[in-house]
Amino acid sequence: MSKNLKFDTLKAKVADGAIDTVLVCLIDMQGRLMGKRFHARAFVDGGYDETHCCTYLLATDLEMATPDGYASTSWEQGYGDYTMKTDLETLRLVPWLSGTAMVICDIFDHHGHPIAHAPRAMLQKQIARLTDIGLSPTMATELEFFLFENSLDEIAKGGFRDLTPISGYNEDYHILQTTKEEHVMRPVRNHLFEMGIPIEGSKGEAEAGQEELNIKYAEALACADHHTIAKHAIKEIAWQQGHAATFLAKWHHDRVGSSSHVHQSLWQGGKSMFYDPDRPLGKSELMDQYMAGLIKYAADYTYFMAPYVNSYKRFAKGSFAPTRIIWSVDNRTAAFRLCGEGTEAIRVECRIPGADMNPYLAQAAMLAAGLKGIEEKLALPEAFSGDAYADETSAHIPRNLRDARDALHGSDMLRAAMGDAVIDHYARAAGWELEEFDRVVTDWEIARGFERA
């Protein structure tokens, strides 16, 4: 597999005309790539070090609104600039766009201080806390999404009605149906692989038009970068092929939702510290404590895995999305699934995150919770077995954004791990989503009551 692009190689490619454009990107609160298109010559001649962006990019919503209530930036503060500093380790070619490379930036104020609520900085902070105790977090995120017959523009012009998935039936593991989607998925796999993202494969998922892309596990920051670039690639390549891809957690109440499960393990010196062949299931005491932290604080951090009103529609019984905060061995009905029992590949899969999550925030939050479990030396509850949807005794995942926002706002654990200002910032983001949803009249209300109310 090709490695990330070296700066000198980029310079040579710019000199011989192979590259003329560099995407200089930051990660926003929604986990999207935002930024600027540099002429490649300007980038290699000096722009490669830093550029600037408006502070509102880290205080806005999906539609780029400028809500009040953020301490970090506002109309009163004049919405000034942040400094975007390139992380040249992330320099890559973008094979599906001609003559184009990309780089991811970290965000600083004018005095060189990292912006604490920038998603990449939030993950870097939690990774550093684990590094301090000699542990290296390793993660894999799965990307589920739906492909549609029509293009994004056609769907938007049609008012997002009468959406037709690209296939007519549940295509879970189907080779025949997914062959019909190879004009999208083959370039997705191959272009990402070519740019150094360790693609394992793709498969049909458990609904008409639903796909999954698997990327090999990596160090946590790299994993979040891979996820973000892959999600972006899927949207752009689907668009190039005249189709639409959506990562909404639940695009229709009668269809299953899309998840983004996160596999996690902690390593030291090239060895998984979650593996202990002498203990039951091959699970180390450290893994017990980490999992116990994930479970104890799951409600606190659910917002970071389910950030929209829509996200909570996914947590439905019998849908393969979890409802109960329990763990179980290789059981897809539980929120936490132990995978790879008795082997060096032992890991915990958190099934709470939806496809709409921001991977930097979700991973940062889980690392904070797991680390707290280690610090508190928590005991892991007994494993659940059976159908977790039927278990009325265990705690339920927060049922809606309001509950998740309140749990986030009240979380002493997250406040200690991430800082009060960061938690207040994201609680405000959740509050703004709620305000907007409460204000808007939905199709459902009209159809239900127009005649009959």
Chain residues in the site for ligand ADP (CB under 6 A): 138-140, 200, 214-217, 261, 263-265, 272, 345, 347, 349
- Which CB, 231 or 409, lies closer to ligand ADP? 231
- Which CB, 72 or 328, lies closer to ligand ADP? 328
Least Å distance, CB 139 to ligand ADP, is 6
Task: Say how many CA atoms lie within 13 Å of 199 toward its Cβ.
Answer: 24
H runs (alpha helix) in 247-390 = 285-296, 298-301, 359-375
C-alpha 306/C-alpha 231 separation (Å) is: 17
Residue 101's closest CA among 28, 2, 200? 2
- How far apart, in Å, are the Cα atoms of 12 and each of 19, 44, 271, 356, 420? 9, 10, 38, 38, 46
Least Å distance, CB 346 to ligand ADP, is 7
C-alpha 422/C-alpha 70 separation (Å) is: 10
Tokens of 209: 């038009």
Least Å distance, CB 215 to ligand ADP, is 6
- Which CB, 60 or 138, lies closer to ligand ADP? 138
Least Å distance, CB 155 to ligand ADP, is 29
- Which CB, 339 or 383, lies closer to ligand ADP? 339
- Which CB, 5 or 365, lies closer to ligand ADP? 365
- Which CB, 24 or 350, lies closer to ligand ADP? 350
Residues in contact with 116: Cβ distance below 8 Å, sequence separation at least 6, in sequence order: 122, 125, 418, 419, 421, 422
Least Å distance, CB 203 to ligand ADP, is 8
- Which CB, 351 or 425, lies closer to ligand ADP? 351
Chain centroid to CA 35: how far?
18
- The H-or-E segment that residue 266 falls in is strand 262-268
C-alpha 266/C-alpha 219 separation (Å) is: 10
Tokens of 323: 């409802």
Least Å distance, CB 201 to ligand ADP, is 8
Least Å distance, CB 202 to ligand ADP, is 10
